[in-house]
Amino acid sequence: MKRLFLGALLCIAVACGGSSFDIPEPVGGEEQGGGDEKPDGPVAEGLPDWPLITQGAGTLVADGLDAATYTLITAQGYNQEAPDTSGAHADAPFRHIRQTFDEALKRWVFDFHIHVENDNDRGNPHKTDRQRNEIKTDGHSPASMVAQQGETLVMRWKFRLPEGMRTTSKFCHVHQLKGIDNREGTADVSMPLITFTPRTLSNGGQQFQVIHVPPTEQGGGNLYLARIDLAELLGEWVAVTERVRFDYGGSYSLRIVRISDGRELLRIEDRKLDLWRTGTAGLRPKWGIYRSIGEEGSLKGELRDEIVRFADFEIEKP
């Protein structure tokens, strides 16, 4: 397939040595099929030649059947963690992952909602400092969607952060790579390996950060793999390809391309990192919005209700 993106030389690159990172072809076909009950269409005219995909093994593609969104998620081997019955939602449940037809992509996509009030972390009323609305793979997913030590996962997806998105100096993750605990509950899985984090800086600016957290036995802490101006992403669809070999001395590669103009915003090539966790039953991706609201909600005044859009999830184990 013609690579229109490769001509974009105005990228912000993060190069750390190693072999060249070649973006593989997406899993599935080149266009999404649709039934009579839902709109369907090609990529909007003028967009780069980024392929559409079909529903298949390891993929999750919005199909326009909004009421059955959670059924679709689990049928494709994923799971969800949403605060549908938290706070006032207990009396009037609100489904936090919905489907909408996106006019820019000309296709169905997933809307991930988060509300400043009412929403908490997985319906847990005792966690008053954070909110979570995510999908993930887990111990119930096919083995092809969860990595064991020494294995590689290639993950592809598209997402759009809303215009004017509000952030704080605390965490706000829209993607994580994280471990699955073992039966004994003793694995080193409290912290993620990788996060995509929109954040407010001390000078009031906003960044999009790619962060690695080393294993706890190495002292933890944040290692910033890439930092770019958040404005490059706000209100824009971007396409992501992430390739990870999960191991001590593993490797991490990433490419983020803005769909509207084909500009490569970020590239990390074969970065050598410790990408395993002691005792874990497997490592897997998560997507959505998981943010701090401060102790007892002290940061709520800096935030607003947000909708983060995602489309075309793919997981492949080469």
What tens digit of pLDDT does each residue of 199-245 get? Answer: 999 999 999 999 999 999 998 789 999 999 999 999 999 999 999 99
Please tell me the predicted confidence (pLDDT) of residue 54.
84
184 in a domain, yes or no? yes
Residue 208 lies in a domain: yes
How confident is the model over 119-154, as pLDDT tens digits?
999 877 788 899 999 999 999 999 999 999 999 999
Summarised one tens digit per residue, pLDDT across range 246-284 is 999 999 999 999 999 999 999 999 999 999 999 999 999
Instruction: Please count the structural domains in the chain.
Output: 1
Domain contains 27: no
Q: Distances in Å between the alpha carbon of 32 and those of 23, 113, 143, 308?
A: 21, 25, 25, 22
Contact 100, 163 (CB under 8 A): no
Inside any domain, residue 28:
no
Q: What is the pLDDT of residue 52?
A: 72
Average pLDDT on 16-43 reads: 37
Residue 2, in any domain of the structure: no
The answer to whether residue 24 sits within a structural domain is no
Per-residue pLDDT reduced to its tens digit, 277-318: 999 999 999 999 999 999 999 999 999 999 999 999 999 999
> In this model, does residue 111 exceed pLDDT 80?
yes
Instruction: Please indicate, yes or no, if residue 125 is contained in any of the structural domains.
Output: yes
d(CA 133, CA 289): 5
In this predicted structure, the answer to whether residue 84 has a pLDDT above a threshold of 70 is yes
Rounded CA separation 199/48 (Å): 29
Q: 115 is in which domain, residue-wise?
A: 11-18+33-316
Cα(7)–Cα(24) distance, integer angstroms: 17
Q: What is the pTM for the complete model shown? A: 0.85
Confirm whether 5 is domain-assigned.
no
* DSSP one-letter string for 15-72: E-SSS----PPPSS-SS----TTS---PSPTTS--PPP--S-TTEE---S-GGGHHHH
Output the domain CATH number for residue 255.
Answer: 2.60.120.200
